[in-house]
Structure 1
C-alpha cells in the first residue's frame, strides 16, 4: 500500500512538472510571438540597408535602385543600397548571413551566389534554403554572350570555328557564378575553349571588352545589350527561350541549335535566417505591389526583365526547385571551385 501511494505521489509530481514545463513553453512562445508582432508594427524605425553582392551597373544593382524609392515611400524610412562585390556575389551574401535578423539588413539574392555558388564552391559555407529568409521575388534576366569587334567574329558559328583551335578569353560574373557555369556548359556543348576571366561587376567586364582586354563577355543581357545596340560589342547569343524583344537581333542559343544552353538569372529580396514573419509578409506585399506599378513594369519592359509575382510560400518552393536544378547542372558539367 505504502509503495503504491509513493508511486502515485511520484507520478503526480512528474505530471505536474510536465504541465509546468508545457505552460512555460506556451508562455515563452506567446511572449516571442507578441514581441515579434510588436517589432513588426514598429519596423522600420531606422534606415534599412539592401546589400548588393556585385558592383554598379549589373542587374542586381539596377533592381535594388529601382526598388528603393518606392520602398522608402511605402515604409517611411530610408532604404539604402550598399554594394559589397566579390567572389561572384558570395562576399555580400556572407555579410547578410552574419547580420541580425531584425529586418534592417536585406540582400538582393541572385542565381550565382545562391543557386550555383554553394553547389560548386567549397569555400561558401552558407546554404541557400537554410541560412536565409527569402522575402520576395523581383525579376529575372537572361545572359548574353558578346564579342569584342576586334575579335573578328560576327556569329556563333564563326566563334566556334575560331575557339576550337585556340583559347578565347571570356569575362564572367565571377568564379563559380551562374555565368561561369553557363560558360562551361557552352564549352562542353559547342566543344570549344573559352577561358573564364572573373569580374566583380558587369560594368567592369564590359569596359574591358570594349577596351579589347578580354575577347568575349558572358554577362546579364541588361548590361550587354546597350553596348550591342551601340555597335561597341557583337551579340552572339542569349540564354532566354525566345529572342529578347529589346535586343531582337541577337539569336537564342536554342534557335542556333543548342537548346541545352539556357538559363534565367533570378533576383529576389532576401535576408538573414529567422527574420520575423510579420516583417517578411509586409515586405513581400509591398515588393509585389511595387513590381506591378505601371512605371516599374515599363522599366522592366525597357530592360527586357521577366517579372514573377510570388507570395512567400511559393517563393520558397520555386527557389528550392532552382537550387536543385542548377546544382544538378553543375554536377553534370563537373564545375568545381577550389
Structure 2
C-alpha cells in the first residue's frame, strides 16, 4: 500500500511539473508575441528583384521598419512559379520573424491548373492583409484597327485572330478563357514566356490582343503604344477612367482581379498577425505610400481584415478552379 501511495505522489508531482512547464512555455510565447519584434524580420518575396511584387514589398518593408523600429529586410526567392519562396516561408518557424508576399497567381490560379502543388496554399499560410489589386485589362495596339472591344469580338468571329497568353496556365490565360466563354469567341492562343514578349508582338501587329495587369501595362499605355479596351473588374480602374469594365459592356462572369498580399507561416501568434494587419492598413492610408503606389499603377487592396482576406483567397481559388475545369485547362 505504501508503494502505491509513493507511486501516486510521484505521478502527481510529474503531472504538476509538466503542467508548470507547459504554462511557462505558453507564458513565454505570449510575452514574445507581446514584445514582437525584437530583431530583424525577413520578408520573403517569391519573385525576382524589380518585378511588381518586389517593388511593393520594398515599399512595405521600409514602412514597417520605421513603424516597428526593427529592420524588415527583403529576401528574393524566385522560381517554381512562386512556390519556392512560399514554401520557404511556410516551413519557417511561426514566430513572426519570417513573412511572405503572397499573390493571387500561386495561391489561387496555380492550384486550379496544376495537378500537384508543393503546398496547401490555404492551410499552410496565415493571411494578414491584401495590399494591392492588379486587375486584368484587354489590350490591343494603339495603331491597330480595333478601337473598341466590339470591334475585336466582331473581327474574331469573322476570321482567325491571335491572342497572346503570357504564359499558359497564368491568370491572363484563365481570364481569357472566362472572356472567350462569355462572348462565344475563339482566338488562336499564342503562349509567351512573359508580358514583355506578348506586348512586343501586339504592338508589332503580329498578335491581335492580350491580357495584362494594369500595373504591368501602365508604362506602355502612358507611352501610347497600347490601347485598353476593357478592364476585367467590377469597377473602372482609377488609372484608366475612360476604359469600361467588361460588365459595362454586357459581358458577365469574366472578372479577373489579381492581388498582392502579405502572409505568415501557419500558427503564427494572432497578436503578431493583428499588429501587422493594423500597420498595413496605416501603410495603405499613408499619403506618401499612396502616391508611390499610384506611380506604379497599384490600387490599394480591398480586404480590410485578416478574415476578409482569407475569404478572398478561398473565393478566388473556387472561381479559378471552376474556370479551369470548364475550359479544360491543365498545365503539368
Same fold (TM over 0.5): yes
> What's the CA shift for 1:295?
2.2
Q: 1:216 aligns with which of 185, 206, 209?
A: 209
Q: How does 1:122-137 map to 2 (within 5 A)?
A: 122-137=115-130
**2:253 matches 1:263:** no
What secondary structure is seen at the aligned counterpart in 2 of 1:283?
helix
Give, in whole Å, the separation in 1 of the partners of 2:51 and 2:206.
Answer: 19
8 Å contact from structure 1 (residues 142, 265) kept in 2: yes
Q: 1:143 aligns with which of 133, 136, 143?
A: 136
Q: How does 1:105-254 map to 2 (within 5 A)?
A: 105-149=98-142, 152-164=145-157, 165-172=159-166, 174-190=167-183, 191-199=185-193, 202=195, 205-206=198-199, 209-210=202-203, 215-254=208-247
Shift in CA distance, 289/166, structure 1 to aligned 2, threshold 3 Å: same
Give, in whole Å, the separation in 2 of the partners of 1:33 and 1:333.
Answer: 52
1:301-325 per-position Cα deviation (integer Å, ceiling 9, x unaligned): 5636143353333433443333333
Q: How does 1:59-74 map to 2 (within 5 A)?
A: 60-74=53-67
> What's the CA shift for 1:257?
2.1
Q: 1:331 aligns with which of 320, 325, 332?
A: 325
Cα RMSD over matched residues?
A: 3.4
Give the aligned partner of residue 101 of structure 1: 94
Give, in whole Å, the separation in 2 of the partners of 1:171 and 1:119.
Answer: 17
Q: 2:285 aligns with which of 279, 292, 299?
A: 292
1:244-271 per-position Cα deviation (integer Å, ceiling 9, x unaligned): 2321232211222212211321221012
8 Å contact from structure 1 (residues 148, 234) kept in 2: yes
Give the aligned partner of residue 40 of structure 2: 46
> What's the CA shift for 1:215?
4.7
Superposition TM-score, scaled by structure 2 size: 0.82
Give, in whole Å, the separation in 1 of the partners of 2:16 and 2:168.
Answer: 50
Superposition TM-score, scaled by structure 1 size: 0.80
Shift in CA distance, 71/203, structure 1 to aligned 2, threshold 3 Å: farther
After the TM superposition, which parts of structure 1 deviate over 6 Å for at least 4 consecutive aligned residues?
12-16
1:225-262 per-position Cα deviation (integer Å, ceiling 9, x unaligned): 33223211121211112322321232211222212211
Give, in whole Å, the separation in 2 of the partners of 1:219 and 1:62.
Answer: 18
Give the aligned partner of residue 22 of structure 2: 28
Give, in whole Å, the separation in 2 of the partners of 1:142 and 1:51.
Answer: 20
Give the aligned partner of residue 307 of structure 2: 313
In the alignment of these two chains, the number of paired residues is: 328
Give, in whole Å, the separation in 2 of the partners of 1:14 and 1:179.
Answer: 67
Give, in whole Å, the separation in 2 of the partners of 1:29 and 1:195.
Answer: 60
8 Å contact from structure 1 (residues 146, 233) kept in 2: yes
8 Å contact from structure 2 (residues 83, 118) kept in 1: no
> What's the CA shift for 1:130?
0.7
What secondary structure is seen at the aligned counterpart in 2 of 1:290?
helix
What secondary structure is seen at the aligned counterpart in 1 of 2:134?
strand
Give, in whole Å, the separation in 2 of the partners of 1:44 and 1:27.
Answer: 24
Give the aligned partner of residue 274 of structure 1: 267
Could you tell me which runs of 5 or more consecutive residues in structure 1 were left unpaired when the two chains were aligned: none
Could you tell me which runs of 5 or more consecutive residues in structure 2 were left unpaired when the two chains were aligned: none
